[in-house]
Copies of this chain bind each other. A is one copy, B any other.
C-alpha cells in the first residue's frame, strides 16, 4: 500500500463519514474498505459493514498499519479505497468552470458548494490541483462522489464541447454586477486561479461578471466567490 500520488490509479476516502459517502453515492468505484481495529462495534461500524456487504466490497479489519501510512493520524477509523473515475458533463445542465485552481482544500470546498447548489457539472482546466487527492476528497466532505467533474487541457477544449452554454467569466475587471445579470440556461460560471484570477482575454468571452466588493480587500476567497455565484444564479 503506497502513499497517494497524482499518478496512482486508486485514491482514498479517509474517515468513516467519507467512506459511508463513497459507499452510498459511488459504490461502483469502491474497491476495498479498511476498518481500524480500534473502531468500536457501534452503529457506524454496522452501517459500514452492511453498505460494503450489499455492494460486494471486501472489508479488511486487521490492517492497523495502513491507517498511519495513509492518514498520518491515529483517529481515522475507516478508509475507503476507490478507483479513480471519470465523468461526462451533462450538455443540457449548468456548469461551473475552474481555470487553474491550485489549492486542494479550496477545490474540495468548491465541489461541496457545487453539490449544495446542484450545479450540473464541474469543468477543471489544467494545470490544476488534483481533485482525487485524499486532501481534496476530504475537504469536499464526500461531495466529490456526487458532483460530475472532468478535466480539460484548455478552456478552448471545454468551450468547443459546450457551444450552447452562456459563458460568465467572474472578473474584477468586469462591468456587469452579478445581481443585475440576466440568467439564460444553460450557463457556465467561470472562475480563475486563487492568486491571479482569470487572464484578461476572458473579458472577451460571453458576459463577464463582477461580484461588487469594497476596496478594503484585494479579492474574495475563491470558494466564497464561487458560492456566491452559484447561489445567486440558482435563485435568479
In the complex, are the beta carbons of B179 and A214 less than 8 A apart? no
CB contacts (< 8 Å) of A217 on chain B: these are 112, 115-116, 141-143, 146
A182 within 8 A of B: no
Cα(A51)–Cα(B214), bound, Å: 22
CB contacts (< 8 Å) of A179 on chain B: these are 235
Q: In A210-236, which residues have CB < 8 Å from any B CB?
A: 211, 213-214, 216-218, 220-221, 223-225, 227-228, 231-232, 235
In the complex, are the beta carbons of B224 and A109 less than 8 A apart? yes
A118 within 8 A of B: yes
- CB A108 to nearest CB in B, in angstroms, measures 9
Find the B residue at minimum CB distance from A139: B221
In the complex, are the beta carbons of B224 and A113 less than 8 A apart? yes
CB contacts (< 8 Å) of A231 on chain B: these are 211, 228, 232
Q: In A63-117, which residues have CB < 8 Å from any B CB?
A: 109, 112-113, 115-117
The listed residue (B117, B220, B227) touching A214 by CB distance below 8 A is B117
In the complex, are the beta carbons of A214 and B115 less than 8 A apart? yes
Find the B residue at minimum CB distance from A213: B116
Find the B residue at minimum CB distance from A145: B216
- CB A176 to nearest CB in B, in angstroms, measures 14
- CB A90 to nearest CB in B, in angstroms, measures 15
CB contacts (< 8 Å) of A115 on chain B: these are 214, 216-217
A117-B214, A227-B227 given; 20 more Cβ-contact pairs under 8 Å: A109-B221, A109-B224, A112-B217, A112-B224, A113-B220, A113-B224, A115-B214, A115-B217, A116-B213, A116-B217, A116-B220, A117-B213, A141-B217, A142-B217, A146-B216, A220-B227, A223-B223, A224-B227, A227-B228, A231-B232
